[in-house]
């Protein structure tokens, strides 16, 4: 069955070429098929669109008016198809990412660089927030993917763990004597502790683990920034719970020291999250592939 759009495409081609035979050649159709398509359109519109002469065809007044609108519409469709192809081939578009400040600084940047080098015409739109906040805006459609601390218990989200991290505790020069030998978590909580704020997924993970061991924490300081945890520990305000992989500069330069515990807190992951119910855009798909394969 020939669609109305197909009829209009034949109509435009005949109008431009002023010939059924030339239009048929351009459309890879037979001349009778082109003639039949024009006759069908004329019947459906109940109007004559072309003047037929031995030398070819020309638009009637009514046909000229119709051509002006139909040709514009088909051109817009062609432009739309080209834009879709550009998005598919990643020659244009936008990638919207939700990510926490710390993960953005210590984990995400190399992947942004690699993606940008490969697809320079894709624009980045970055939103920062806590894991809970980022999952909320992911569900509202404000971002395509979220890169955050796992675990997350949400059946609507697809979770792709991609980087193992270790929670640990660090201290400054003042506390060196106390940590001359390994301590238990029960001994550690008797000291002034510095944690992220309670709404942080990192804080919740460590706190839940300690509670499972019968240990309740009462931090001396609760902060909103991982870098502040390190700075507070560096000036001896307490023992900070940090992510080891994001604290290497402070540890390597001797600004802080790692607490040796009798038992390590189990490792967790940083991962990519996206909605199960919404297919990833081509840009998002490629970005996830870069993270998983790098």
**Domain boundaries along the sequence of the chain:** 1-70, 84-163+269-293, 166-266
* pLDDT class of 34 with cuts at 50, 70, 90: very high
Share of the chain above pLDDT 70, in %: 99
Identical fold for domains 84-163+269-293 and 166-266, yes or no, is yes
The pLDDT score that the predictor gives to residue 87 is 73
| CB-CB neighbours of 77 under 10 Å | 13
- Name the CATH superfamily housing domain 166-266: Periplasmic binding protein-like II (3.40.190.10)
* Per-residue model confidence (pLDDT) at position 2: 62
The answer to whether 261 touches 188, Cβ cutoff 8 Å, is yes
Residue range 1-70, CATH number: 1.10.10.10
Confidence check: pLDDT of 1 > 60: no
Listed residue (168, 172, 177) closest to 238, CA to CA = 172
Confidence category of residue 93, pLDDT binned at 50, 70, 90:
confident
User: Does 212 have pLDDT greater than 90?
Assistant: yes
Beta bridge partners of 171: 257
Q: What is the mean pLDDT of the chain?
A: 91
Tell me: the pLDDT tens digits for 39-85? 999 999 999 999 988 888 999 999 999 999 999 898 888 877 777 77
Q: 105-148: per-residue pLDDT in tens?
A: 999 999 999 999 999 999 999 999 888 899 989 988 889 999 99
Work out the percent of the chain whose per-residue pLDDT is above 90. 74
Output the six-digit token pair for 65.
Answer: 């008016």
pTM, whole model, 2 decimals?
0.72
For residue 151, cis peptide bond before it (omega within 30 degrees of 0): yes
Domain 84-163+269-293 has CATH 1.10.150.20: no
DSSP state of 40: H
**Rounded-to-integer distance, Cα 33 and Cα 50, Å:** 16
Task: Report DSSP state, residue 28.
Answer: T
pLDDT tens digits for 247-289? 999 999 999 999 999 988 999 999 999 999 888 888 899 999 9
């Amino acid at each position: 069955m020939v669609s109305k759009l197909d009829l209009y495409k034949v109509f435009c081609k005949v109008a431009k070429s002023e010939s059924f035979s030339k239009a048929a050649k351009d459309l890879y159709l037979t001349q009778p098929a082109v003639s039949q398509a024009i006759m069908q359109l004329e019947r459906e519109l109940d109007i004559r669109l072309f003047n037929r002469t031995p030398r070819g065809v020309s638009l009637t007044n009514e046909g000229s008016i119709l051509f002006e609108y139909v040709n514009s519409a088909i051109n817009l469709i062609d432009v739309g198809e080209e834009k879709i192809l550009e998005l598919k081939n990643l020659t244009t578009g936008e990638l919207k990412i939700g990510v926490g400040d710390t993960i953005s600084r210590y984990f995400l940047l190399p992947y942004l660089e690699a993606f940008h080098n490969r697809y320079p015409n894709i624009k980045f739109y970055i939103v920062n927030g806590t894991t809970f906040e980022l999952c909320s805006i992911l569900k509202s459609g404000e971002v395509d993917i979220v890169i955050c601390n796992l675990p997350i218990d949400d059946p609507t989200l697809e979770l792709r763990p991609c980087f193992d991290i270790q929670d640990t505790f660090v201290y400054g020069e003042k506390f060196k004597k106390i940590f001359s030998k390994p301590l238990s978590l029960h001994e550690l909580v008797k000291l002034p502790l510095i944690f992220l704020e309670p709404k942080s997924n990192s804080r919740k993970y460590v706190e839940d683990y300690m509670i499972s061991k019968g240990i309740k924490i009462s931090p001396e300081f609760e902060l909103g920034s991982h870098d502040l945890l390190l700075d507070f520990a560096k000036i001896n305000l307490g023992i900070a719970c940090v992510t080891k992989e994001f604290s290497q500069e402070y540890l390597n330069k001797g600004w802080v020291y790692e607490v040796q515990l009798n038992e390590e807190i189990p490792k967790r992951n940083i991962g990519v999250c996206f909605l199960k119910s919404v297919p990833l855009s081509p840009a998002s798909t490629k970005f996830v592939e870069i993270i998983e394969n790098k």
